[in-house]
Amino acid sequence: MKPFEYKFSDKLDEILHILSQSGTDAKILAGGTDLLIELRRKPKVYPGVIVDISFVNELKGIFEDNNHITIKPLSTHTKIFKSDIIRKKAYLLSEATSQIGSLQIRNRGTVGGNIMNAAACADTVPPLIALNAEITLRSQNSVRSFKLNDFFIKPYKTKANPDEVLTEIKINCLPKDAKSTFIKLGRRNALSISRLSVAAVLQQDEDGKIIDARIVPGAAFPTWQRVVEAEQMLIGEKPGIELFRAAGAKVSEVMISYTGRRWSTEYKEPVIAALVRRALERCSI
């Protein structure tokens, strides 16, 4: 690794101060599972300063209040999938984090790093968007909030400035009777990077009619979003294989309207449709 200046503090205020003094070539370090690999690849713009936030306790923990859950960005994938609150009230996020990388990667990689790195295959993002996540970014002189689905510009590019730290992720608890899932398709079982994934939530009323539906594909669109066109088809209906198949086909159609047809479309078109159908089936059992 080429030399850099290393700075750290266990206080958020001091981190923000360091960042305000560091200029644009500073890079924040959390778990390092993306950043260290990038540094070794000798990126074109090599950071002059690494600002290590991994000691900041204020940025750790998962808290529940009043139908909301606040997830601090340094929560590791292991902490999230072991959290009772998440398992009970945001199940799909528990499912997604349990499948990330390997034990070693889950012990180290953080949800904040996953979001801020903004890789198309980031597995926490589709569930978080399905949970209507809002994030807070802080710099020395500003506090900004974004809906997570408005935060990404394109893969690896977000609306954050280099001196901003992601300090909080806030999600809505799922209603008690809602069911949710996250399915990812990799090339192999262990350590697989998502080729395609789907986060889904369904809620039915007493008569079995669907009253809430959320579908967020991962690694399919230029940026992540709920596929409202497909969700709308489900509202007011009762679950059924034909209905779910049609919703899957709709998601494919919408995907192609964004991405156009390219070399991978022949593969992605049927696969995303099948993943959506399967995810909806799981949510209706």
Partner 1 sequence: MKKVNEIMNKVKIKTTINNRSYKLDVLPNQTLLNFLREELGLTGTKCGCEIGECGACTVLINGEAVNSCLVLVPQINGKEVLTVEGLSDGEQLHPLQKSFIEHGAVHCGFCTPGLLMTAKSLLDENPDPTEEEIRNAIAGNLCRCTGYIQVVEAVKNAAGEY
User: Is the distance from CB of 94 to CB of 79 less than 8 angstroms?
Assistant: no
Residues 6+ apart with CB under 8 A from 109: 31, 33, 34, 76, 77, 100, 101
Return the residues of window 206-265 that contact partner 1 according to CB under 8 A: none
Binding window for partner 1 (CB under 8 A); candidates: 58-66, 136-144, 183-191, 198-206? 183-191
Q: Report the amino acid identity of residue 235.
A: I
Residue number with the shortest CB distance to ligand FAD?
113
Phi/psi region, residue 81 (left: phi>0; alpha: psi -120 to 50; beta: rest), is alpha
Shortest CB 198 distance to partner 1, Å: 22
Q: Binding marks (x or -) toward ligand FAD, 166..205, rule CB under 6 A?
A: x------------------------x-x------------
Structure tokens at 16: 């923000």
Task: Give backbone dihedrals phi and psi of 3, rounded to 5 degrees, phi first.
Answer: -65, 155
Lay out the site mask for partner 1 across 55-94 (x = CB under 8 A, - = otherwise). x----------------------x----------------
**Of the candidates 65, 176, 190, 262, which one interacts with partner 1 according to CB under 8 A?**
190
Give the residue, chosen from 26, 28, 29, 169, that forms a contact with partner 1 under the rule CB under 8 A: 29
- Strands of the 142-147 sheet, one edge to the other: 62-65, 68-71, 165-172, 134-139, 142-147
Q: Decide which of ligand FAD, partner 1, none touches 185; Cβ closer than 5 to 8 Å per partner kind.
A: none
Distance between CA atoms of 19 and 26, rounded to whole angstroms? 7
Residues 256-285 binding ligand FAD (CB under 6 A) are none
**Site size for ligand FAD (CB under 6 A):** 30
Q: Write down the least CB distance from residue 104 to partner 1, Å.
A: 5
DSSP H/E element including 27? strand 26-29
Tokens standing for 52? Answer: 């290590």
Query: CA distances (Å), 58 to each of 48, 64, 132, in order?
Result: 26, 16, 23
Among 67, 104, 232, 264, binds partner 1 (CB under 8 A): 104
The first and second tokens of residue 113, run together, are 């790093």
Q: Hey, CA dihedral for 45, 219, 191, 159, is it positive or negative?
A: positive
Interface ranges with partner 1 (CB under 8 A): 1-11, 14, 17-18, 29, 31-33, 36-37, 40, 50, 52, 54-55, 78, 101-105, 107-108, 189-191
Interface ranges with ligand FAD (CB under 6 A): 27-35, 37, 53, 73, 100-101, 105, 108-110, 112-114, 116-117, 121-123, 165-166, 191, 193
